[in-house]
Amino acid sequence: MEILHVSAECYPVAKAGGLGDVVGALPKYQQDAGHQAKVVMPMYRTKFLYNNDFDVVHKGYTNIGDYFFDYTIIKEKTNKLGFGLYLVDVNGLLDREKIYGYDDDVQRFTAFQVCVVDWIASWQFKPDVVHVHDYHAGLIPFMLQYCYRYNQLASIPTVLTIHNAQYQGWMTWEQSTLLPPYDEWKRGMLEWGNSINPLASAIKCASKVTTVSNSYLDELKYMSNGLEALFEYEKGKCVGILNGIDTQVWNPETDTYIKHDYSLATVEEGKAKNKAQLCETFGLDVNKPLFVFIGRLVGEKAADLLPNVIGDSFYYIGRRMNFLILGSGEPEVEARLNGMMPLSQNDYSCYIGYNEGLSHLMYAGADFLLMPSRVEPCGLNQMYSMRYGTVPLVRNTGGLRDTVKDIGEENGYGIVFNNASVGDVCNAVWRACDLYSDKSLFTKARAQMMQLDFSWETSVQQYLALYQSLR
């Protein structure tokens, strides 16, 4: 089967969050299962672009509205990622250093999608399925079916995977001219809430819709940023498939980002060495339990709670623990976290920014991971942490609910709380400190977590079965 993934992100080419991790791993495991998987994404100006060799495989000419332009499709020569990687170059639109955050993002991602569809139209043999990820590729199912220029592609099955339904890519109707000419009788397939909504359009037009966990699919029916009724209406074609993690990249026995590798048999010694390195780097007390937060400092991750959680934990529980924060996001949250640095008594530090190597070291050296997310469609961080023997403290939502079992339950191994509130998170920190003091229970939980299977193999078979059902 030939599978074409269309995405704005793909690790290690360009990544802003979990979307990049998934698109960098899922095709690799589909390829390993004997299928031909490809990824096409915009050609950003990244280190990966300059450090690798590419062949030009297609040149085309198309337009968005009255702007006509040349585009080029280039392919990474060696398939070093384990699958075919294709980049779309549109001079002046896609060749930027950042993935998102430009005033013309609507034009950029519309141009990207038009180029992808135009390129597919040139193929001698069409792909068996086009798998689009999030709203950045959400207009493609509509274009394949209803744009006159691409009528010959209407029979290609499409799958949409929703990694985060909060972001929907809204466009005004004035921007409808950016699309290739389409059947005006079908404009309702673009519309939601009196505007063009690429994510809603993909939900309506795709052959199948998947979310990245079963619990998240349930939550979308009552919490999806305005799409609740649509998810209820289209529930018959929606499926929850839990993400996996790339166990080749995230493996404490072979991780090239950490100096002190370890296995289940050597976890105590290995984590102690990595923790000592972290504490030395950030001026923390190695004898106290180390709590870390890794991720975007935004509202849906409940990062705004962190300053008060840390302050209240120190005040009410006592300075019995360390906190280390890695991430970037809302300037106000960044400023508050930075502003707490002078108050540290060798028990708090933060790194504002993105650092892949440091994140690996934190998973390897931390005792606990904080994930108080308000919204967490799947969550990969809790899976990474458990793979590295770091106990996750998670809110009972989305994929966190599907992957973490509370230590208070039979065969439990994590700490689960119900509300994204300072009080609930502080209570979880207090429970974690107690767990840390109970060495036998802590060691048992750590060993249990490290033996859990969050690999991609099971998820890949579910995706392949889904594709087969469309043929």
CB neighbour class for 174 (10 Å; exposed up to 12, middle 13-18, buried from 19): exposed
**In this structure, what are the phi and psi dihedrals at residue 439, rounded to the nearest 5 degrees?**
-60, -40
Tokens of 415: 């700490």
User: Concatenated DSSP letters for 115-182?
Assistant: HHHHHHHT-SS--SEEEEESGGGTTHHHHHHHBGGGGGGTTS-EEEEES-TT----B-GGGGGGSPPB
- Sequence-distant (6+) residues with CB within 8 A of 414 are 382, 386, 391, 392, 393, 394, 404, 405, 406, 407, 445, 449
Residue in 286, 280, 359 with CA at minimum distance from that of residue 321: 286
CB neighbour class for 391 (10 Å; exposed up to 12, middle 13-18, buried from 19): buried
Is 47 annotated in a binding site? The answer is no
Residue in 380, 398, 309 with CA at minimum distance from that of residue 348: 309
Q: Where are the alpha helices (DSSP H) in 260-376?
A: 267-282, 306-312, 331-339, 356-365
Residue in 69, 73, 134, 72 with CA at minimum distance from that of residue 100: 134
Residue in 349, 355, 363 with CA at minimum distance from that of residue 449: 363
Taking the CB of residue 97, how many other CB atoms lie within 10 A of it? 8
**In this structure, what are the phi and psi dihedrals at residue 161, rounded to the nearest 5 degrees?**
-110, 125
CB neighbour class for 187 (10 Å; exposed up to 12, middle 13-18, buried from 19): middle
Tokens of 318: 């006592």
Feature table: binding site for ADP-alpha-D-glucose: 15
Feature table: binding site: 15
